Structure 1
């Protein structure tokens, strides 16, 4: 395959981090990315050059381009953490060469060459060679959500308690976790913000679905926690809502934070609980888990592909936006609930 000298991409317009948090909603693309043409990069010895078929837009992407993620922006470089495509060039190291010509799910990590482009660069260890039965829509969302779901549900299983709590309950990630829990007899308690999300999550396998906007939410939460005694709290939100949930959980509970959809201050309502009730606050970041748990990672990569192939899992698609129209169409697509938005090179 002939590789062009230049490519189209959505390029970051800022460096570093935002001075002030601005929320998790992408109201418009213009303050954060712009369309442009840049030279197609050459892969380093440990890297792959991938012709992008489909690029995912995750909450972490939105937080990153807005300068609120755990790594700095790079002005002039393509955005986008995740996608699917075909390897068209590799570095010289053996692992990189083993991916030659394969269709892969990939995470761009800190390479600086994101997936919102015609070509992307990823480190070979951050790629998964896909089996033929995995759709591009599932492959483009293979790493961030599915591997995180398997990893965090593993934490729930290791803890041993059947009940656990998730915020952002209607997200693609939480729907995967809820499906896993149903299969193995666990009892997820999902927190959502709209009543119309409740039937869907109940059908997927949630034992309880609570609307945090409801007038009786605090009462319902306390009653549910008292009955179920959940000790794992998988939290994508932070902020006052998450703090209130953790506050009513029983002793020896673990608040595991993997996102910050609410940029407001997160209070600790009673610090004494950390001392006298042995309650713990900790973080989860998938790249660290992937490095520290190589055997579990290898199992999770194949397990996720099997689940997408046999229909136990599927990626709910809200929209596939052409790269040429991404600036105008992406914000409205992201505002629609319950599904993934992808960018597709024209």
Structure 2
């Protein structure tokens, strides 16, 4: 079978290669999945560069999620072959992948392969972070990198809940689309003063929560936009630069700044919360209530072109690998 492999740490375009491997056999509690499609997420790119919370064991496969059909099951697994599932694993950019049976989510017929391939990482993180933000109907939530696939998901979720949103961008070409999804206000951080604009928008109060994926200067400035008792949840570092923490603001506005990682959150919450998240996310995606657009698809042999495309600025949809 064909599989995307890397044998050293580095830039994805330099180190990712397609290799022929033997078909893997599932062990106890595992299943083998014939992969239909798998997205390229920022977490995948960080993992290849050894910048993620999970460290690669070289040589390693790449890709954390996908959709496929159960092809074989290991000992202790009571699942039927032939069922279509969304799944998480390491090495989903492959013709076949091995996953633990608990990392599978059966996909309803109403959900397309393109949506099912993206079911876990962005939708679950977005839903969980909006929950964790504590922002109520009528309140203000701000998100950086609003034009990302994750940002668009958050915007749509907040619109459903009646939460007002401010999104930051570096270009204005997606503004109309973001507004149509439900973004209340958009701020271009290249041409506008972030804290000044947020103060104007919120009547001087600021926002009660910020979801930040950028870090660096943007996150540093975003701290000034928090209202008293506000919280910043940091879930990414697209700039690859740490923000400066304003201790004075933290003390006198009683701010909270903390990280968010879906893997830890899913382990921390109770099983009922996990089930509620899954049911709500699947329902919204299957019904088309929430959109997850796809911009381009590539074969495994085109992996270098695919990761180059995924790194472009101004994209409006996800990039998928389709073996």
Same fold (TM over 0.5): yes
Give how far 1:84 is off.
Answer: 0.4
Give how far 1:226 is off.
Answer: 4.3
In the TM superposition, 1:111-130 aligns within 5 A as 113-130=90-107
Cα distance in structure 2, aligned partners of 1:34 and 1:181:
40
**Residue of structure 2 equivalent to 1:192:** 169
**Residue of structure 1 equivalent to 2:82:** 101
Would you say the 8 A contact 2:136–2:163 is kept in 1? Answer: no
Are residue 169 (structure 1) and residue 163 (structure 2) matched?
Answer: no
**Residue of structure 1 equivalent to 2:253:** 277
**Residue of structure 2 equivalent to 1:260:** 237
Alignment partner of 1:337 out of 311, 315, 319: 315
Cα distance in structure 1, aligned partners of 2:199 and 2:150:
25
Deviations 1:295-329 (A, max 9, x none): 12212222222222221122211111011222234
The 3-state SS of whatever aligns with 1:231 is: strand
Cα 1:69–1:223 change in 2 (3 A) is: same
Structure 1 gap ranges (5+): 1-6, 19-25
The 3-state SS of whatever aligns with 1:342 is: strand
Give how far 1:42 is off.
Answer: 2.2
How many residues align? The count is 321
Would you say the 8 A contact 1:56–1:343 is kept in 2? Answer: yes
Alignment partner of 1:223 out of 183, 200, 204: 200
The 3-state SS of whatever aligns with 2:59 is: coil
Cα distance in structure 1, aligned partners of 2:138 and 2:51:
33
The 3-state SS of whatever aligns with 2:232 is: strand
Deviations 1:250-269 (A, max 9, x none): 2211110111111123211x
Cα distance in structure 2, aligned partners of 1:54 and 1:119:
11
**Residue of structure 1 equivalent to 2:304:** 327
The 3-state SS of whatever aligns with 1:51 is: strand
**Residue of structure 2 equivalent to 1:29:** 13
**Residue of structure 1 equivalent to 2:43:** 60
Cα 1:311–1:165 change in 2 (3 A) is: same
Would you say the 8 A contact 2:26–2:74 is kept in 1? Answer: yes
Give how far 1:160 is off.
Answer: 6.8
Would you say the 8 A contact 1:239–1:265 is kept in 2? Answer: yes
Would you say the 8 A contact 1:78–1:116 is kept in 2? Answer: yes
Cα 1:100–1:295 change in 2 (3 A) is: farther
The 3-state SS of whatever aligns with 2:13 is: coil
Cα distance in structure 2, aligned partners of 1:223 and 1:116:
46
Cα distance in structure 1, aligned partners of 2:102 and 2:262:
13
Cα distance in structure 1, aligned partners of 2:117 and 2:191:
35
In the TM superposition, 1:64-79 aligns within 5 A as 64-79=47-62
Cα distance in structure 1, aligned partners of 2:161 and 2:259:
25
The 3-state SS of whatever aligns with 2:124 is: helix
Deviations 1:162-200 (A, max 9, x none): 111101101111111111111221101111111112111
The 3-state SS of whatever aligns with 1:247 is: helix
Structure 2 gap ranges (5+): none
The 3-state SS of whatever aligns with 2:21 is: strand
**Residue of structure 1 equivalent to 2:267:** 291
Give how far 1:161 is off.
Answer: 6.6
Deviations 1:74-130 (A, max 9, x none): 22221100100011122323xx3236432111111xxxx410111112222222111
TM-score (norm. length: structure 1): 0.86
TM-score (norm. length: structure 2): 0.92
